[in-house]
Structure 1
């Protein structure tokens, strides 16, 4: 009887051990033994940076699958993903390797995407380059070195003692201010004096700022300048109209410049005047002889003298006799 009970106990412990081993296996494998494996997607990377088989595939923090396998491809490394069959991933979704904790564990994060077309089994999932924490730390170290060199240029304690030369930039500024302190003080005093004069209304600028009368006169002058500018614009507009009329042959000047008939008439008139002046200068005609021949002038003088003598003898003669005397004297 005791042997029978002992055999039963051994059998129960054996079954219990198998159950515990199965539960442990399912827990470590993500429960893959109790549910469907889903469909497969391939995520190519230049480097997985610590992603390994069994790591989770998350979408917005929710587990949608796991990394089934990792393998080398053609100049790349591929992560084979087992995705839950209930989850559909758009073709424009993007996967990236991200750090799950400070201990260095990784997971694969997948974005939602916006396309209505879904990825089919064994399709490739778009990926982003994996950020290497070591590269980030190295870059931070490089930035730190550059900051140290930059601070050295200000403090004079840069690497190798070359930061900004002896004394550094701050010390150079301090020396510059110390050496030029009296000049700076004098400059500030002059500026204060100038500002005081302006405030009290001294000088042209002070009067302009403080004297309202001068301000009003300045505004009036500006207004007059504006009026003059407006008149100038009006004059220019009128001038343009006159020029346009002249070009169109309107008016006397327009006819003279652009009317061929008028121009020909002017040319003929000028020619006639030139010929007339030449004849006058040559003594031709009555007017020419009157201008050029002095004999006529002499004769006229003789006649005038005779008339004077005849008029002198009129004092003792009667009217009829006087007329006869004058006629006899002249002819």
Structure 2
């Protein structure tokens, strides 16, 4: 191999090396080696969860920037990610950023939601709102703790089933209970079998209810009667309500007495007159009062009736004219 060929190969490898270096820088810097475009935002988190420089910032799954660098803020006791957002991308002030994974073995990235269109946009150097999410390690830790708790619960259940320290377990207790009460269980099953046989044969109240069609019809008729009585009671209540409504509206005699002031006044005046008359009668005033309370008037009336009775007895033996004279003589 001559010197010219060796020189050409060395030059070719050198050019390929420069090309690979250029591609590497382009990939790591997002196509911006010599200048940095866009603006920066600060994203505070309780933990960055393996987030590193160069990781993507995505909004609705679309890349809008990269993580420029990460830092620890001891004064505020938090970790911060400095985000470089593309110039043509705007983020509303109510948007929320969170750290997400692109897969179980993928890299982390910053996910930003869309926010609301009416909210003002974040300016360079502003702080974006963030939300802490569980990472793979915390999830695996929680699963491990859950497994330990489940193992403990299963162990306690196993001990309860099998027993411990010479104490019988649940299965042993059930077995002993069944063994000690085998005769009672057998008798109970026999009684249940007899009861079901009687019911099937139509014996007893329950058997008749199940097997006697006539009793079923009577029961159904009784239910229909109860429904009819309920309907009648419903109609009675409706009529009573109608009567109450009429009374409230002042209709009818009762309504007029309750709500008509003139009728009420007339009733009061009538009762007052009746009381006045009864008071006069009780005091012996007037004809009816004297008849009730004056004994002399009663005796005079009784004497007159006796005289009339004697005059009528004498009429049978006298003529008409003579009878008139006899009556007049008897009375006066």
Shorter-chain TM-score bucket reads 0.5 to 0.7
Q: Residue 154 of structure 1 aligns to a residue in which SS?
A: helix
Q: Which segment is superposed worse, 28-37 or 43-52?
A: 28-37
| TM-score normalised over the length of structure 1 | 0.66
1:234 and 1:142 mapped to 2: Cα distance? 73
For residues 8-157 of structure 1, the aligned pairs below 5 Å read 9=6, 13=10, 16-17=13-14, 20=17, 23-24=20-21, 26-27=23-24, 30=27, 32=29, 35=32, 37-41=36-40, 42-57=42-57, 65-73=65-73, 74-83=76-85, 88-91=89-92, 93-99=95-101, 106-111=107-112, 113=114, 115-116=116-117, 121-156=124-159
Which residue does the alignment assign to 1:260?
A: 265
Counterpart for residue 228 of structure 1: 233
Offset at residue 50 of structure 1 (A): 1.6
Asked whether the equivalents of residues 67 and 81 of structure 1 are also in contact (C-alpha less than 8 Å), the reply is yes
- 1:198-241 deviation line (CA, Å, top 9, x unaligned): 89496374458972354144214412431232023213422442
Gaps of 5+ in 2: none
After TM superposition, the score normalised by the length of structure 2 is 0.66
**66-75 vs 169-178, which moves further:** 169-178
Aligned mates of 2:320, 2:216 — CA distance in 1: 93
SS of the aligned residue for 1:137 comes to helix
Please provide the CA RMSD for this pair: 5.1
Query: SS at the partner of 2:132?
Result: coil
| Distance across 1 between alignment mates of 2:176 and 2:225 | 53
C-alpha separation in 1, matches of 2:30 and 2:283: 137
Return the offset for 1:11: 8.8
Cα distance in 1 for partners of 2:213, 2:77 equals 80
Which has the higher mean CA deviation after the structures are superposed, 53-62 or 270-279?
A: 53-62
Assess, with a 3 A threshold, how the Cα gap between structure 1 residues 21 and 286 changes in structure 2: closer, same or farther. Answer: closer
Q: Distance in 2 between matches of 1:265 and 1:171?
A: 95
Q: CA deviation at 1:304?
A: 3.8
Give the Cα–Cα distance (whole angstroms) in 2 for the partners of residues 107 and 289 of structure 1.
126
Out of 182, 188, 212, the position equivalent to 2:217 is 212
Q: Secondary structure at the match of 1:277?
A: helix
Contact preservation (8 Å) 2:307, 2:330: no
1:238 aligns with 2:243: yes
For residue 278 of structure 1, the aligned residue among 275, 283, 300 is: 283
Q: Within 2, Cα distance between the matches of 1:64 and 1:319?
A: 147
* Distance in 2 between residues matched to 1:48 and 1:298, nearest whole Å: 135
CA distance in 2, matches of 1:326, 1:102: 143
**CA–CA separation in structure 2 for the residues paired with 1:299 and 1:70:** 141
Per the alignment, in what secondary structure is the counterpart of residue 240 of structure 2?
Answer: helix
C-alpha distance in 2 between matches for 1:255 and 1:60: 80
CA contact (8 A) 1:156 1:166 kept: no
* CA 263–246 in structure 1, closer or farther in 2 if over 3 Å, else same: farther
Contact 2:72–2:79, Cα closer than 8 Å, also in 1: yes
